[in-house]
């Protein structure tokens, strides 16, 4: 048996000492500023915008009235049938106006509205020069339908100034024209003729032999008549290949070309008929 020894001294429980560590002060709950209390005066940005607008307006007023920006010269390049004055009138331009007030795109549209022009470019050269470069359409053939209509290599019917070409042009038969500004009909024959014209130019056939007439009685057969009264027959399509045969035949015939009456290009072995 174990005995407990009681002591008259009662020991107090020891407290655990807490060491204080530095801590951040708690932030007081600061109320959020009321709306509008921190804004700058409303007049500030408005004043800045007003000053900017006044500055821009002043600059524009100066450039629109300064003598140095008054157009003094309009140059026209690459014109042929049309004079510089005629091109300038089509563009709606004139000297004596402020260069900033002229619209190059509107001037270009005024020029190409005339069907005799394929394209045009208009540039401003500061401080006082306008330059226009035009690309006129060139006569390539004449379509006979009641009267003669001059066309370019894209089939566009040209105006009177271009119809007065000094160049000898082949006459096309078999196409229809409704009026002066319309397209050529029927489309399949028109496309065949235009393809043929392009290949004639690419292969320089007309340097070797002058083409007087192009007849498109049907879309799958084209007949040419030369200045030497030779009848040349082509099948539908493949005009580059057929005209290459013609070029070879013309080179091989030599002096005998004067006696040739008909050449048929539809066959690889080209038959040639001679006059008696």
Q: 230: cis peptide before it, omega within 30°?
A: no
As a whole number, mean pLDDT of residues 235-249 equals 95
Q: CATH 3.10.20.310 in the chain: give the residue spans.
A: 67-136
Q: What is the 3-state secondary structure (H, E, C) of 146-160?
A: CEEEEECCCCCECCH
pTM metric for this prediction: 0.75
Residue 10 has pLDDT above 70, yes or no: no
Q: Where are the alpha helices (DSSP H) in 74-149?
A: 84-91, 104-112
Out of 139-143, 214-218, 233-237, which region has the weakest mean confidence (pLDDT)? 214-218
The model's pLDDT over 166-192, given as tens digits with 9 standing for 90+, comes to: 678 999 999 999 876 678 999 999 999
Whole-number pLDDT of residue 45: 81
Residue 26 has pLDDT above 60, yes or no: no
The model's pLDDT over 45-92, given as tens digits with 9 standing for 90+, comes to: 887 776 677 666 655 555 566 788 999 999 999 999 999 999 999 999
Whether 95 and 73 have beta carbons less than 8 Å apart is answered as yes
Tokens of 129: 């020069």
As a whole number, mean pLDDT of residues 103-116 equals 97
d(CA 101, CA 262): 63
What confidence tier does 206 reach under pLDDT thresholds 50, 70, 90?
Answer: very high
Whole-number pLDDT of residue 39: 55
Whole-number pLDDT of residue 183: 86
What confidence tier does 33 reach under pLDDT thresholds 50, 70, 90?
Answer: low
Q: Where are the alpha helices (DSSP H) in 78-222?
A: 84-91, 104-112, 160-163, 187-202, 205-208
Q: Residue holding tokens 């070029």?
A: 247
As a whole number, mean pLDDT of residues 118-135 equals 97
As a whole number, mean pLDDT of residues 134-140 equals 96
Residue 259 has pLDDT above 80, yes or no: yes
CATH 3.10.20.310, domain 67-136, yes or no: yes
Whole-number pLDDT of residue 117: 97
Q: Indicate the class that CATH gives domain 141-274.
A: alpha beta
Q: At what angle do helices 239-253 and 187-202 cross, to 10 degrees?
A: 40
Whether 70 and 129 have beta carbons less than 8 Å apart is answered as no
> In whole numbers, what is the pLDDT of the chain averaged over residues?
85
Q: CATH 3.40.50.11690 in the chain: give the residue spans.
A: 141-274
């Amino acid at each position: 048996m174990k005995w407990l020894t009681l002591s008259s001294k009662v020991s107090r429980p020891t407290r655990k000492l807490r060491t204080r560590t530095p801590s951040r002060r708690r932030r007081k709950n600061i109320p959020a500023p009321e709306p509008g209390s921190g804004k700058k005066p409303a007049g500030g940005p408005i004043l800045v915008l007003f000053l900017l607008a006044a500055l821009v307006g002043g600059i524009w007023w100066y450039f629109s009235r300064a003598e140095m920006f008054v157009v003094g010269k309009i140059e026209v390049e690459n014109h042929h049938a049309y004079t510089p004055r005629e091109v300038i009138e089509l563009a709606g331009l004139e000297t004596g106006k402020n260069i900033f007030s002229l619209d190059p795109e509107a001037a270009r549209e005024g020029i190409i509205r005339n069907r005799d022009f394929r394209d045009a470019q208009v540039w401003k050269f500061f401080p006082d020069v306008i330059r226009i470069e035009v690309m006129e359409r060139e006569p390539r053939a004449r379509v006979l339908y009641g009267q003669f209509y001059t066309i370019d290599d894209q089939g566009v019917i040209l105006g009177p100034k271009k119809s007065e070409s000094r160049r000898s042009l082949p006459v096309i038969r078999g196409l229809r024209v409704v009026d002066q500004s319309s397209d050529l009909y029927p489309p399949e024959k028109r496309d065949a003729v235009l393809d043929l014209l392009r290949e004639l130019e690419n292969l320089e056939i007309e340097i070797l032999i002058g083409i007087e007439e192009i007849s498109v009685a049907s879309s799958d057969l084209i007949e040419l008549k030369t200045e030497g009264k030779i009848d040349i027959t082509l099948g539908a399509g493949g005009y580059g290949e057929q005209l290459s045969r013609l070029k070879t035949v013309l080179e091989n015939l030599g002096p005998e070309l004067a006696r040739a009456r008909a050449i048929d290009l539809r066959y690889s072995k080209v038959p040639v008929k001679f006059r008696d």
